[in-house]
Amino acid sequence: MMGLKIHKNGISSFLIDDKYPVYRHIILQIIILAISVSIFFDAPDRLNISLNRFYGWISYFLFLNMLVYVNVYVLFPRFLAKNKVFAYIISVVLFTIFALFIMVILQELFYDIAVTHQEPSGIAIFLSLASSMCTILLFLGGISTLLLFKQWIISNRNINNLQIATFQSELNFLKSQINPHFLFNMINNANIMVDEDPKMASHILDKLDDMLQYQFNDSTQDNVSLKADIAFLSDFLDLEKVRRDYFEYTVVIEGNMDDVEVPPLLFIPFVENAVKHNLDTNKSYVHLKFYMENGCLFFECENSKPMKSVKRDAGGLGLANIKRRLDLLFENKYVLDVLETEATYTVNLELNV
């Protein structure tokens, strides 16, 4: 799931989070201020602080704000954000012409644009207007690029949120497909023993009570203790042993599993499948083994096979679900192998936990 998350810190968070709008506007005003103060310099080393120049600076500062906010709140959301590219280009060109007209008026009112008092030539006027127009277009283009980048971040965040929601929904769906089938089997087992042996039926119900608590409480968590999940499997096999005349099982744990956690109900489909396709003969068994090696958890489920061929559920809903769940939870960090001989059927699962 980590691969499905967008950056929650840094530039992307600052650009899109609702808690930063004031700071974004402050930074924008600082940038515009830094650009507009150039009005006070006739040359890099010549500062001109006069009342007329101060009025010119205020006008230029407001002019730049007009360029930014008209694009941000009018042109971009109305056209470019709706993929109306041609309409946006036309609107930007018209707005640039309007802004150029405003700039000429401001220059006439406040700026000392000529070093001498001679009238500028026609070529100089044309070059000045063309330069100003290009400057305005580039300024608007930069703002639009930033807005597109912000929209791209928001779109990616929404896609990631949707993927995460879908991921969780699918996992819950896969769990729900496992749980009802399992509960039905357990209740049916207890029901069979009620009339035959009340004491044994009480034992079954106690086991079932523990399993139901695990299923309805612990299994709702993202991860549970491996020991709790193994206890759940042991109770399941113990109930199965009570129900059947010829059935043996073992659960072997090698190494310290105290701190190991796994997704709940991860192994029960394998065990259910092993029991389901294991006929009641004097050689019927299921052997489970858990061990840790090099930071990986290994699970082995071996069951005996009947002499007559019984169709496995390898392509059925149970194992199909668990394979899908493994893909969602572990991506490529697991290995699942199935080994079948004439007498046994073995599932080996390696998990990078």
pLDDT of 297 = 94
- Residue spans of beta strands (DSSP E) within the chain: 41-43, 46-47, 224-225, 248-254, 261-262, 285-293, 296-304, 334-340, 344-352
pLDDT of 168 = 61
> 209 is written with which tokens?
């009570």
Angle 198-201-204 from CA coordinates, rounded to 5°: 160
- Report the percentage of the chain scoring pLDDT > 70: 75
Give per-residue pLDDT as tens, 44-68. Answer: 667 777 787 788 888 888 988 999 8
pLDDT of 327 = 83
d(CA 232, CA 222): 16
Q: What are phi and psi of 284, to 5 degrees?
A: -80, 125
pLDDT of 113 = 43
| Sheet of 344-352, strand order | 248-254, 285-293, 296-304, 344-352, 334-340
68, 25 in Cβ contact below 8 A?
no
pLDDT of 241 = 83
Would you report the helix, strand and coil content of the chain in percent, each value rounded to 5?
65, 15, 20
Q: Could you report the average pLDDT of every consecutive run of 10 residues in the chain (353 residues)?
A: 43 74 88 83 71 83 90 89 89 89 78 49 66 80 86 79 61 54 64 72 76 69 87 86 82 89 86 79 87 92 77 53 79 88 91 84
Residue count (the chain):
353
Q: What are phi and psi of 39, to 5 degrees?
A: -55, -35
pLDDT of 172 = 61
d(CA 65, CA 62): 5
* Residues whose CB is less than 8 angstroms from the CB of residue 331 and which lie 6 or more positions away in sequence, other chains included: 3
Mean pLDDT score of the chain: 77
pLDDT of 99 = 87
178, 325 in Cβ contact below 8 A?
no
Give per-residue pLDDT as tens, 246-256. Answer: 889 999 999 88
Domains in the chain and their CATH numbers?
A: 2-163 (no CATH), 197-352 (3.30.565.10)
306, 281 in Cβ contact below 8 A?
yes
Query: b/e per residue, 209-241, with b = 16+ CB within 10 A?
Result: eebeebbeebbeeeebbbeebbebbbbbbebbb
d(CA 202, CA 208): 10
Q: 132, 101, 102, 109: which is closest to 54 by C-alpha?
A: 109
Which residue reads 């989070």 in tokens?
Answer: 17
Give per-residue pLDDT as tens, 274-323. Answer: 888 777 666 789 999 999 988 899 999 999 987 665 555 444 455 677 78
pLDDT of 7 = 42
Adjacent-strand bridge partners of 253: 290
Bridge-based pairing of strands 248-254 and 285-293 is parallel
pLDDT of 1 = 38
pLDDT of 116 = 42
